[in-house]
A and B are shown apart, each in its own frame.
Chain A
Amino acid sequence: MPYVMKKYLLYIALFAVSCSKKLDDAYLNPNAPTVVPIETLLPGIIGSMVGASSTTGVSGGVAGDALVIGRYIQYWGDYNGQSNASYIYDEMGGPAFTSATLATIWNGFYFGQGQNLNQVINWGSQQQKWDYVGVALAIRAWGWLELANEYADGIIVREAFNTNLQQFDYDPQSLAYDTCRDVCFQALAYLSRTDGNVSATNLAIGDAFMNGGDVNKWKKFVYGILARSYAYLANKAVYASGDYADSVIKYCGLAQQTNDDNTTAKFSGNVNVSGNNSYYGPTRGNVGGLRQAAYIVGMMTGQNPTFAGVFDPRAFYMLRMNLGGTFQGITPWLGNGPGGGFTTASGDPNFPPNFWGNTAAPQSASAPSGATTGTLDSGRYLFRNNAEFPLMTASEMQFLLAEAEYRKGNKSAALTAYTNGISLNFDMLTQKYALNVPSDQAITPTSEATYLAAVTPAPEDLTLSQIMLQKYIALYGWGVQETWVDMRRFHYNGNLDPVAGTPVYAGFTPPQGQYLYINNGDSLVYRCKPQNVEYTYDIPSLTKIGAMNLNYHTYEPWFNQN
């Protein structure tokens, strides 16, 4: 028996050893990858720049917030005026602390891109794919600036992406600007490398829907970010003295020059997968309730004093004509309600249809029946499922240049940039956004020239107002965050044009009286509160920066200050 027992004990011991090994075998997750090729990470990161779909990415990107900020800057408003649950944004209000509104930049930056982008940098460096590392850093730099511009001092810079922390401290907006530029220079360094496993063909796998693997375009994008980062500090004393303006001029010269250089997100437009489609398209259905605002319509139809009497042929590309055959826009906080200037609550032929052109029922938030996909997609301009969504254009760079030269007193250079900016925008529309434009209203060289002539003054007569308003038009719909920066820099209609003596944003009327949101206390909106989740988990930090105050959204950001 003792012998038998020894044998049994030996068996047991052997068994135990084999069991222990089996534990190791079962440790790794067999269901989902813990490591993936960085080529498969970049599409999602790019997707999170504009408007990721749910599941992974939680609606990150500029487009979601643009729908709201577009109301602040009167690109558009909701057709329903005061009856619409979101009218507080038409009134320049800020969201409730628990509301997830105005959080898509936050979501896209921290989560949609967040650790995915970190892994592209991390694994890309290990694999010596320096081009991927450069692209990732370029997107991170862009993100820092977008984040800082929208949330001002309610941002997490130093402690970002630390999974060991449970609460986070906020950093000043200026730190994000510095970080942005620092990352820009890193990005440029990597994008310039040709050693290791750098390959345009391989970059094109991940970059198929942005720059198609062209590192030079990415570099131009990075220079453009640098240009923006200096341009937005025009209120700082050091800008006028030369430093910042010169930087703007320098980087605009290195950034996008032609429409081919434009940084635009593309969409494959597979109707079954919402993330394959533009956030503004009928499949994703996000902009159905929006209507063009009176301010942009006035500017393009000759009613704005700056371009009085000049009809802008771009209107047929960007805006929608009503059943009555005219261009009309809504006052965002009134919509089709009382005082809105439209005769009845529904069916008014003057009421603008939505951006998908639903004329059958102007007061509708849907696309025309059946007109949602493929060749039936009824949207025009950005409002199509597969329309390219610009994030930065050559035209925009010309306007940054125009403003910088103008502020330096180089009016002739400013005028050149100004007209370049306009004609680049015309070209972009005719090249990329001609679909669903009535054929008899297509822009022709003649109509473009006529318009250009009408809005081009003599160099000495050029005004800041003209530059900013043409930029306002050229960025319509997509450059919402950039335009908001501009309008805040000029305090909306608060800063006067030194030449014209009228507000730089001529004809702009912010909501006032009962239509200015009650918590604003007579101030206009200047920043977004941090994302709603912060209001549950980062309350000490919120309190420190005043973000628990109901009028927090009216605090002017650092870039506005002298």
Chain B
Amino acid sequence: MLLFMLTLAVSWPSMGQQRTVKGTVLDSKDNTPLAGATVQNRRTHQQVQTDEKGAYAIAAQPGDLLVITHIGHKSLHLTVGNAEMYTTQLDIAEGQLSDVVVTAMDIKRNPRELGFSTQTLSGKTIQETQRENFVNGLQGRVAGLSITPTSGQAGASSTITLRGFNTSGVNQPLFIIDGIIVDNSTFDENSNSGTTLGLASDRPNRTSDYTNRIADINPDDIESITVLKGPEAAILYGSKASSGAIVITTKKPALASKLRLSYDDAFRMQWINRFPKIITDFGPGTNGTPSTTSFTDFGPSLPASAQTFDNVHHFFRTGFAQTHNLEGSFGTKASAFRASGSYFDEDGAVPNNNFQRFTFRLTNNTKIGKWVDLTPSATYINEVNTVPTRGSGGYYQDLLVWPATNDIRHYQDASGNRTYALPAADPSVEVDNPLYNTHTNFNKANTYRGIFTLGADVHALSWLTLSGRFGYDTYMTDEFDIYGPQSSQLVSIAGTLTGAYNLKGALENSWMKYHDYNHTIYATAKKKFGDWTVSLVGGTTYEDAEHGTFSVIGTQLISPTRHDSSNTNPATRQRLLQNYFGKYNVSIARNLAYFGQVNIGYKDVAYLSYSQRLEETSIVPKANREYNYPGGSASVILSDIFPAMKRGDWVNFWKVRGALANSARLPDPYLNQSVFGNNYASATGLAYSYGFVNNNPNLQPERQRTYEIGTELTLLKNTLALDVTYYNTYCYNQIAQNARESYATGFVLNTLNASSLRNQGLEITLDINPVRTNDWNWDIQFNFNHAWSKVLTLPAAIGPLNDYYNSDDFVTNGARGGFVRGHSTSTLTGWNYNRNNAGQILINATTGLPEVNQTFLPIGDRNPAFTLGTLNSIKYKHWSLSFLWDLKVGGDIYDGTDMILTEYGRSPRTADRMTPRVVKGVLDDGLQNTANPTKNTIVVNPYLNSTNYYGETTGMPDEEFVQHNVNWLRLRDVTLSYGMPQQLLHKLRVVKSLNVFCTANDLVLFTNYWGPDPAVSGSTAATRGVGGFGYDYFNLPTPMQLNFGLRASF
């Protein structure tokens, strides 16, 4: 609608008399009418829009070319003949072929003129994947976009990265819905000793998980998604979009349309079908000596008569989920409404894991007089997520180390007390029974959210439009995290881990609130001067975002089942700093910006764009507060400049483009003011001392210089479309937040502008349409991505071989994600073997075991060599089949699960423990660096020396657990659907369309990974920097899912 109004304002009067041509535009997928499609007569430039029946009428004469466009669909060219009625089916656009792209600031532009690469996906495609968190449906569909789900649990958060990692701060893109900034944060549990947002327990983002907030959006409300990967996003959206932007356009009601209802549902079953290999051949003990007090399986072999249980299979259940969506719309000539409601309820494959979401959305489209268009919307969301404790010490670890001779199903005695596997019944020795763990230790978060948007466009003059986008996004989360009074689970309190049984249980209650008001007000002017088209955009944007948390943790539970904060001993309660005064800890960020853009087009074949943005933020001190950055882009349609090349239909279209921008990136608020925290020394009243971090008053925003060049080619009668992009991003003046330094600063950590890195990549999208007949259509899209990066500088305090790391990524003792100069940003650093100058492993001359170097050196790189998403879409009459293969080649994974299982004697690598061996290496005997080092000949028997041989610090450092070059090929989503033919539906009268479908997720996985699933993450999406991807630490594998459902409209 907006598009219509905008373009109407700049359309030229028609020239001469023609007859009226009528037509209908349908969605090729299910033959549903497409309302709001734009039909333009290329000769007269007149354009009209389809109504709710998909119908249009336009003046044309035979030979005219009509261009039919609809957001989210491929455009279609129709040559007018002698007929008066035309029925046109539009295909869903999977990539850049759409003829209208919603770019920054809700500005719709013709992709011809864009100097940068974008990819657009239709909402339908995303919805079809049946992913409750729609971002998971983006993986493989956009070149340069990668999604890392935190785990296979229902409601898990997902990390989204566009074009690699540019900062040790936040790397996730900005989300925009209808021109409004919408929050996608994941709750961050770190509270820096209670001084920031986070939890009173102040812990890394590794045990609980909270949904990333954009997953609140009902996929069914999405009309299309445009991914702005490169400089363009940053130019106009500013610092918040320096990692790109994901621009969502929602479904809007059409004016003058009849009442229309639609309903769809889906029922899903879910299974965990991949398990790590564990061995259960040995009994408890250490060093070959049996023990009844040990939880490690390094005792003698189990006798053949021993009864063992298939605990892993007894643990998981068949998950079940259902979705229902109901939608209705109608419109008068002046005003149209759309209402949609959805209900989603999922029981995950892990006991006590549940995710529920209810959404309701109301959209309006009102036209006031000739000039004003208003599009308000209101969305209400309620989400409840119950998640058992994951990761280190969570149920999955418990499950994998639980003795095979003990049946996990008997996890409670008659009086509800925990049962034990060992006779001593000592909670300090054994872990929880995994079923006991999931029922006793879990987190439940209840979120209420409202998103209100208002779009206003005033078509003041034929060449001038004033637009405003006003948004208010607010939510509250009420959450608790409980640890049972008998549990062995470690509880973090102020950074110290204590067994829950020692604390007599623990309960943390937290309340988070968020509100963000933002608006963008801008004017667009567009005019044609001869061969030149000039458009100017200028405006201002303002955002006021405020996060708050209130968090209380207490121990000594009064009741193991009550979840209110009064259930703990008041004397044990700890809070965030302001919570002691009854106030929330808050984080406020306000940004104000002015921007302008000039676009110049010459004869519709060459385009030039220049933008400038001036931004001010509350986050940095006044002296550094204003920053100013430019950007530009150019594109040239070579195939139109040299039309000769189009002869013979070999080349249909060829464009070259380039764009560059300089932008900034902001740190968290308050990083420039050192703060005092509570000090617990004896005092008569409150006592304070500085926290660990020196917050730097001279901090400046990070800067980023980026450029991209690319080309688009359409070949062979439009059956083949190729888009190639190379980008190069240089990030400098980066803030090393919490960088470790000598204590001589007076602090433990420092904050300073000191680092830089460079990111480069090649993105190729290839669309092929090999079969196109009346009955058959087959589209294949390839999304290829090859990216590489290098850390250039780090704070001088960090030695040439040392790493800068984020404590969240420090998942196990001896491995973490770390930035090392000259290495990739996704480097893994960890404990390693001591080696001689020739690189041979040094062996202790008395024990015969390798020497472990407990300093963090690079031990792997998680960055893949390339990724390739292959999307097939096959249609035969009313049947359609689509499937997405996701290929990843290369990239290392640290298997911390195997490391722990090895120490427990459950890893297959310990199966041959009874075979004596000589560890390959040279003795550390003083000759190790001579020409003739002494070859190790000391025989060791791991069975008799299990503690040392398999120990992380004594025999097998973390280096040993890095699996290099892990590949995967997975069938992400496959959907088969059948749309009832119109003839049949006609008989049903009320039903306008009916579709039945079956979708499978993660059906097939081929991988060379040792563990069950290489799609792993050691931390949640709240983690900054590179995050936990490629870090396997008791990561629940992605479940396989089967969905069945139907879609009907009335």
1/0 per residue, CB under 8 A from A, across B834-859: the answer is 00000000000000000000110000
Closest to A50 in B: B681
Q: Which residues of B, 654-686, contact A by the 8 Å Cβ criterion?
A: 669-670, 673-686
Residues of chain B within 8 A (CB-CB) of A10 are none
Query: Are B617 and A23 interface neighbours, CB within 8 A?
Result: yes
Query: Are B685 and A163 interface neighbours, CB within 8 A?
Result: no
1/0 per residue, CB under 8 A from A, across B560-586: the answer is 000000000001100011100000011
Tell me the bound Cα distance from A309 to B468 in angstroms: 97
Query: Are A167 and B796 interface neighbours, CB within 8 A?
Result: yes
Query: Are A54 and B495 interface neighbours, CB within 8 A?
Result: yes
Tell me the bound Cα distance from A273 to B585 in angstroms: 23
Tell me the bound Cα distance from A160 to B795 in angstroms: 18
Q: Is B969 an interface residue (CB 8 A)?
A: no
> Taking the nearest CB of chain B, how far is it from the CB of A48, in angstroms?
8
Closest to B691 in A: A56
Tell me the bound Cα distance from A166 to B799 in angstroms: 11
Among A125-133, A452-460, A528-536, which stretch is in contact with chain B? A528-536
Closest to A210 in B: B682
Q: Is B588 an interface residue (CB 8 A)?
A: yes
Closest to A266 in B: B682
Q: Is A431 an interface residue (CB 8 A)?
A: no
Query: Are B461 and A537 interface neighbours, CB within 8 A?
Result: no
Query: Are A168 and B588 interface neighbours, CB within 8 A?
Result: no
Tell me the bound Cα distance from A408 to B740 in angstroms: 50
In this complex, the member of B466, B616, B676 whose beta carbon has the largest number of chain A beta carbons within 10 angstroms is B676
Query: Are B684 and A163 interface neighbours, CB within 8 A?
Result: no
Q: Which residues of B, 285-311, contact A by the 8 Å Cβ criterion?
A: none
Query: Are A32 and B577 interface neighbours, CB within 8 A?
Result: yes
Query: Are B745 and A275 interface neighbours, CB within 8 A?
Result: no
Tell me the bound Cα distance from A190 to B689 in angstroms: 23
Q: Is A31 an interface residue (CB 8 A)?
A: yes
> Taking the nearest CB of chain A, how far is it from the CB of B472, in angstroms?
16
Q: Is A501 an interface residue (CB 8 A)?
A: no
> Taking the nearest CB of chain A, how far is it from the CB of B253, in angstroms?
28
Residues of chain B within 8 A (CB-CB) of A533 are 740-743, 748
Q: Which residues of A, 174-225, contact B by the 8 Å Cβ criterion?
A: 205-206, 208-209
> Taking the nearest CB of chain B, how far is it from the CB of A111, in angstroms?
5
Tell me the bound Cα distance from A159 to B741 in angstroms: 14
Query: Are A167 and B797 interface neighbours, CB within 8 A?
Result: yes
Query: Are A31 and B741 interface neighbours, CB within 8 A?
Result: no
Query: Are A12 and B521 interface neighbours, CB within 8 A?
Result: yes
Query: Are B796 and A166 interface neighbours, CB within 8 A?
Result: yes
Among B86-94, B618-626, B628-636, B641-649, which stretch is in contact with chain A? B618-626
Residues of chain A within 8 A (CB-CB) of B279 are none
Tell me the bound Cα distance from A495 to B196 in angstroms: 56
Query: Are A27 and B622 interface neighbours, CB within 8 A?
Result: yes
Query: Are B679 and A168 interface neighbours, CB within 8 A?
Result: no
Tell me the bound Cα distance from A48 to B743 in angstroms: 14
Among A38-46, A288-296, A345-353, A395-403, which stretch is in contact with chain B? A38-46
Asked if A163 meets B675 with Cβ closer than 8 Å, knowing A111-B747, A273-B680, the reply is no
Tell me the bound Cα distance from A25 to B592 in angstroms: 13
Q: Is B195 an interface residue (CB 8 A)?
A: yes
Candidates B686, B689, B742; contact of A116 at CB < 8 Å: B689
Q: Which residues of A, 1-27, contact B by the 8 Å Cβ criterion?
A: 1, 4-5, 8, 12, 15-16, 19-20, 22-27
In this complex, the member of A20, A29, A110, A266 whose beta carbon has the largest number of chain B beta carbons within 10 angstroms is A29
Closest to A40 in B: B688
Interface size classification for chain A: 35 or more
Q: Which residues of A, 435-486, contact B by the 8 Å Cβ criterion?
A: none
Query: Are B680 and A53 interface neighbours, CB within 8 A?
Result: yes
1/0 per residue, CB under 8 A from A, across B763-804: the answer is 000000000000000000000000000000001111100100
Query: Are B616 and A23 interface neighbours, CB within 8 A?
Result: yes
Asked if A161 meets B673 with Cβ closer than 8 Å, knowing A56-B678, A57-B689, the reply is no
Residues of chain B within 8 A (CB-CB) of A270 are 682
Tell me the bound Cα distance from A12 to B539 in angstroms: 9
Q: Is B932 an interface residue (CB 8 A)?
A: no
Residues of chain B within 8 A (CB-CB) of A12 are 521, 540
Candidates B585, B681, B746; contact of A57 at CB < 8 Å: B681
Query: Are A111 and B743 interface neighbours, CB within 8 A?
Result: yes
Query: Are A107 and B743 interface neighbours, CB within 8 A?
Result: yes
Closest to B744 in A: A156
Query: Are A166 and B855 interface neighbours, CB within 8 A?
Result: no
Q: Is B914 an interface residue (CB 8 A)?
A: no
Closest to B587 in A: A31
Q: Is B690 an interface residue (CB 8 A)?
A: yes
Residues of chain B within 8 A (CB-CB) of A114 are 690, 743, 746-747
Residues of chain B within 8 A (CB-CB) of A41 are 676, 687-689
Candidates B677, B680, B741; contact of A32 at CB < 8 Å: B677
Q: Is A326 an interface residue (CB 8 A)?
A: no
Residues of chain B within 8 A (CB-CB) of A40 are 683, 685-688
Residues of chain B within 8 A (CB-CB) of A276 are 680-682
1/0 per residue, CB under 8 A from A, across B185-205: the answer is 000000001111000000000
Query: Are B676 and A32 interface neighbours, CB within 8 A?
Result: yes
1/0 per residue, CB under 8 A from A, across B745-768: the answer is 111101010100000000000000
Asked if A43 meets B679 with Cβ closer than 8 Å, knowing A98-B854, A537-B797, the reply is yes
> Taking the nearest CB of chain A, how far is it from the CB of B197, in angstroms?
8
Tell me the bound Cα distance from A438 to B49 in angstroms: 100
Query: Are B682 and A56 interface neighbours, CB within 8 A?
Result: no
Query: Are A163 and B586 interface neighbours, CB within 8 A?
Result: no
Candidates B572, B622, B683, B799; contact of A272 at CB < 8 Å: B572
Residues of chain A within 8 A (CB-CB) of B742 are 110, 156, 167-168, 533-534, 537-538
Asked if A31 meets B683 with Cβ closer than 8 Å, knowing A16-B592, A26-B590, the reply is no
Query: Are A20 and B616 interface neighbours, CB within 8 A?
Result: yes
Q: Is A274 an interface residue (CB 8 A)?
A: yes
Q: Is A162 an interface residue (CB 8 A)?
A: yes
Closest to B739 in A: A166
Tell me the bound Cα distance from A536 to B795 in angstroms: 12
Query: Are B744 and A161 interface neighbours, CB within 8 A?
Result: yes
Q: Is A371 an interface residue (CB 8 A)?
A: no
Closest to A33 in B: B676
1/0 per residue, CB under 8 A from B, across A112-127: the answer is 1011101000000000
Query: Are A56 and B675 interface neighbours, CB within 8 A?
Result: no
Query: Are A56 and B690 interface neighbours, CB within 8 A?
Result: yes
Asked if A54 meets B676 with Cβ closer than 8 Å, knowing A19-B592, A98-B854, the reply is no
Residues of chain A within 8 A (CB-CB) of B586 are 30-31
Candidates B495, B585, B754, B855; contact of A98 at CB < 8 Å: B855
Residues of chain A within 8 A (CB-CB) of B617 are 23
Residues of chain B within 8 A (CB-CB) of A536 are 740, 798-799, 802, 855
Tell me the bound Cα distance from A47 to B670 in angstroms: 28
Query: Are A209 and B681 interface neighbours, CB within 8 A?
Result: yes
Residues of chain B within 8 A (CB-CB) of A33 are 675-676, 688
Candidates B542, B670, B679; contact of A19 at CB < 8 Å: B542
> Taking the nearest CB of chain B, how far is it from the CB of A205, in angstroms?
6
Q: Is B494 an interface residue (CB 8 A)?
A: yes
Closest to B588 in A: A26
Tell me the bound Cα distance from A27 to B799 in angstroms: 34
Q: Is B915 an interface residue (CB 8 A)?
A: no
Closest to A23 in B: B618
Q: Is B544 an interface residue (CB 8 A)?
A: yes
**15 A-B pairs, CB-CB below 8 angstroms?**
A5-B466, A16-B592, A20-B592, A31-B585, A34-B675, A44-B688, A52-B681, A58-B748, A111-B692, A111-B748, A209-B683, A270-B682, A274-B680, A275-B679, A537-B798
List residues of A whose CB falls within 8 A of some B CB: 1, 4-5, 8, 12, 15-16, 19-20, 22-34, 36, 40-41, 43-48, 52-58, 98, 106-107, 110-112, 114-116, 118, 156, 159-163, 165-168, 205-206, 208-209, 266-270, 272-276, 531, 533-534, 536-539
Sample of 17 more A-B contacts, CB < 8 Å, known A25-B618, A47-B680, A531-B743: A5-B460, A16-B594, A19-B542, A26-B588, A45-B689, A52-B679, A56-B679, A56-B689, A56-B691, A57-B679, A165-B744, A205-B684, A272-B571, A275-B679, A533-B740, A536-B798, A537-B741
